Structure 1
Amino acid sequence: PLMKIINDTFIDLPTPSNISSWWNFGSLLGLCLIMQILT
């Protein structure tokens, strides 16, 4: 469900594909960083 919400928000945003791909890359890096901090 979480990935579907994230995908819907990224698809609904009127951003160019380059910016949205950078947002996806940054969010993945942030997610990995949070997981490393929590564990």
Structure 2
Amino acid sequence: PRRRGADGAAPMVPASTVLTLLGFCASVLFIVFVCSRLVCALT
């Protein structure tokens, strides 16, 4: 039996949308990481 929503996301999500979201999250995490390193270096 197939359970809807078992994967936590919508069942029919285009791969391009997933890649775009992953890239956006990665860039945000990278910026936060760099900023935290700069703050730690400056203090």
TM-score bracket, normalised by the shorter chain, equals 0.5 to 0.7
> With CA pairs under 8 Å and 6+ residues apart, which has the higher RCO, 1 or 2?
1
Identity %: 4
Gaps of at least 5 residues in structure 2 are 1-17
Q: Which runs of 4+ in 1 moved over 2 A?
A: none
More helix by share: 1
What is the TM-score when the length of structure 2 is the normalising length?
Answer: 0.55
- Aligned residues: CA RMSD: 1.3
Could you say which structure has the larger radius of gyration? 2
What is the TM-score when the length of structure 1 is the normalising length?
Answer: 0.60
